[in-house]
Structure 1
Amino acid sequence: MEVVKEELDLCLESEVDDKLIEVVKEEPDLKLECDVGDKMFLIDDEIVLDTVSSVEVKHFRCFVCGKAFPFKESLIQHAVVHSRVKNFKCDECGKRFSQSGLTQHLLIHSGVKNFKCDECGKRFKKKSRLTEHLLIHSGVKNFKCDECGKRYAQKAGLTQHLLIHSGVKNFKCDECGKQFTRKTNLTKHLLTHSRVKNFKCDECGKLFAKKNGLIQHLLSHSGVKNFKCDECGKLFAKKSGLTEHQLSHSGVKNFKCDECGKLFARKNVLTQHLLIHSGVKNFKCDECGKQFAQKVCLIRHLLIHSGVKNFKCDECGKLFAQKVGLTRHLLLHSGVKNFKCDACGKVFAKKNVLTQHLLIHSGVKNFKCDECGKLFAQKNCLTRHLLIHSGVKNFECDECGKLFAQKVCLTRHLLLHSGVKNFKCDECGKQFVQKSNLIRHLSNHCGGKSF
């Protein structure tokens, strides 16, 4: 390649455009070349010219990007793009551009969107944006994340995605302090603080601040559950639901209740739990009038009235309307009794049974039988007692055929047939099958006075 080098001051006297000289001065590494006949001329930090007529010039080519131009003036204008010289300023936002860059940029402020996608109807201000958008409909995803393997149709999508792996969160919400990797996510998040909810569900009327929130919600009405938990097989309509559920299997419980110290794997479960301590019960059962602090508790309670019992105990065959009822019941078969009464030392498998038992020691009897006026400390004791007045005796002794209104009475009666006498009188040593018989016997030792 023949390269003719001359001093810069000689170049200034040549026919080279002053603008090109400025470009070269700004960018010493900038190289522009042009093909003239069989000769190649390199325009570098020293301006190079040849006195070849314009007729002989085939084209002028940019050494930086390879783009070719029919006229030298066109190449000179193009050179500004590579020079990083930005002499054109946007009056709207102050951003600076090369000449062509400003022209394209001004379309943003114009609000005019002349480029429409034939697939979805979305409109764009720039043709380049439309071209990029069309990649989404093509199904081609050439940009792959090396961290997780996720693929994208557009490089911009991959660039935005990579911020997630960087861990850098430069966009902070002034309202709650939450930070985000992307500005778009912050913008969407701010809608939650605005309390403006413009997206309404036609199925149930629920309102949402964000469109994607409505879209996710609609999955709950569709009945489609495509997200499955590998641990227990439970299905979910939303991926976020599955993600939250998987925390329950992790064993990690980072959310603590300041009231009772109970730990939770998920924040939303803690939020629901706090309603219990608030004392507010906004969910009422239309069947019996019982009120609940949590909607989920009301839903579980309604199963009792439905009569449906889908949860069966494999040990004894007993059926339950609620899974939690079966779970508590299984403690009886486990033999584990971790709840002890400090008053009498009796131990229980379930905490709620201990709580009911403590009423006996309190001396408070708030449950009265309307038939005979007898008082009871526990509601379940009153319920069992009412069977006596009903006349219904569903519990029969297989030994003698005697019928009983209460199962507990049958259980005590069966001791008579067993011959086992576990209750002994400390005064005379006489033994009895039932405790009630021992109590009656003790009155003989105290002159007929009852204990």
Structure 2
Amino acid sequence: MNSAQERDTNGPKPDCCQQPNHCDQWEKSFSLSDSYSQHQRIYTGEKPYHCDQCNLTKHLHIHTGEKPYHCDQCGKTFTWSGSLRIHLRIHTGQKPYLCDQCGKTFTDLSNLTRHLRIHTGEKPYLCDQCGNSFRLSTQLKRHQRIHTGEKPYHCDQCGKTFTWSGSLRIHLRIHTGQKPYLCDQCGKTFTDLSNLTRHLRIHTGQKPYLCDQCGKTFTDLSNLTRHLRIHTGEKPTTATNVGTVSASQLN
């Protein structure tokens, strides 16, 4: 059997083309099985031929850094036409992807997919060092720096390095003197939200950290950690785990 005959017999024919080499829809017969197979693609949508040169050209953009697709609204450029199409929705406000759980809409399918994990609880990105899992690949990447010790964020003022971009941002306020967090009780300002939160406990009297040995409470975790040494007898120079909240865990 030749290749043309093989293509003619592979797969079911469309309803209009059940007779050998004859299309009832077009009322047309074909003398060659190969011609008939090509005709069938009108109905199946099959497109078996692709241009290697076009695909190669698109792929080479990765290596050359070329970004030929240009947004005429803001000037941003993109490697792929699809990326530009999604970007344009920022300007148009179009959000065609709807979450059927909460009604929130998104500019592209990937953002919707990531959002849906909030509802499903899915955390597909697993840390192979400690077993923690994460909703987003970026969350896993940030987490892995705990294990690797990587500190890619660098202060150009004093040279100090940080694991997280947020930590660097807060640190830079030491140099700029910026204190954007204001206590509405006394007017004192702070470089970051966590310091303001701890400070507010002075006004509210809240002491959320409890010693499980004697019942004493504290405004912040570091004070509880220091207090627990009374029960354990541990010297400050040997206390390394600032996250400890019970005397038994300090032993």
Q: How does 1:238-253 map to 2 (within 5 A)?
A: 238-239=220-221, 242=224, 249=234, 251-252=236-237
CA distance in 2, matches of 1:125, 1:238: 41
Q: Is 1:100 the equivalent of 2:82?
A: yes
Aligned twin of 2:190: 208
Question: What do the CA deviations read for 1:74-116 (whole angstroms, capped 9, x no partner)?
Answer: x87xx959963436345667764222123224556x4958589
1:253 and 1:89, CA in 2 relative to 1: closer, same or farther beyond 3 A? farther
Residue type matched to 2:237 in 1?
A: V
Match of 1:171 in 2: 153
The one-letter amino acid paired with 1:164 is I
Q: How does 1:105-120 map to 2 (within 5 A)?
A: 105-107=87-89, 110=91, 112=93, 114=95
Q: 2:10 aligns with which of 38, 46, 50?
A: 38
Q: Give the Cα–Cα distance (whole angstroms) in 2 for the partners of residues 233 and 215 of structure 1.
A: 23
TM-score where L is the length of structure 1: 0.33
Residue 84 of structure 1: aligned partner = 59
1:113–1:126: 8 Å Cα contact kept in structure 2? no
Aligned length: 202
Residue 190 of structure 2 corresponds to residue 190 of structure 1:
no
Greater helix fraction, Structure 1 or Structure 2: 2
Answer yes or no: is the 8 Å Cα contact 2:69–2:81 preserved in 1: no
With a CA cutoff of 8 Å and minimum separation of 6, indicate the structure with the bigger relative contact order. Answer: 2
Q: Hey, what's the Cα distance between the residues in 2 that align with 1:208 and 1:221?
A: 15
CA RMSD of aligned residues (A): 5.1
Pairing of 1:31-430 with structure 2 (within 5 A): 38=10, 51=35, 52-56=37-41, 70=45, 72=47, 80=55, 84-86=59-61, 88-90=68-70, 96-107=78-89, 110=91, 112=93, 114=95, 126=108, 128-136=110-118, 138-218=120-200, 221=203, 223-228=205-210, 235-239=217-221, 242=224, 249=234, 251-252=236-237
Change (3 A) 1:124 1:226: farther
Which structure shows the higher strand fraction? Answer: 1
1:58/1:116 CA distance change after superposition, 3 Å: closer
Structure 1 unaligned runs (5+)?
5-34, 40-49, 60-69, 255-264, 266-451
Identity %: 32
Q: Which structure has the bigger radius of gyration?
A: 1
- For each residue in 1:404-440, what CA deviation from the matched residue of structure 2 results, as whole angstroms up to 9, or x when unmatched? xxxxxxxxxxxxxxxxxxxxxxxxxxxxxxxxxxxxx
Report the Cα distance in structure 2 between the residues aligned to 1:236 and 1:3, rounded to whole angstroms.
82
The alpha-carbon distance between structure 1 residues 98 and 214, as it changes in their structure 2 partners (threshold 3 A), is same
Per-residue deviation, 1:3: 8.3
Query: Is the CA contact 1:175–1:193 (under 8 Å) kept in the aligned structure 2?
Result: yes
Distance, in Å, in 2 between the alignment partners of 1:192 and 1:143 is 35
Contact 1:226 1:235 in 2 (8 A): yes
1:38 is matched by which residue type in structure 2?
N
> Following TM superposition, by how much is the alpha carbon of 1:134 offset from its aligned partner in structure 2, in angstroms?
4.4
Question: What residue identity is the alignment partner of 1:53?
Answer: Q
Once the 2 structures are TM-superposed, how far is the Cα of residue 158 of structure 1 from its aligned partner?
A: 1.8
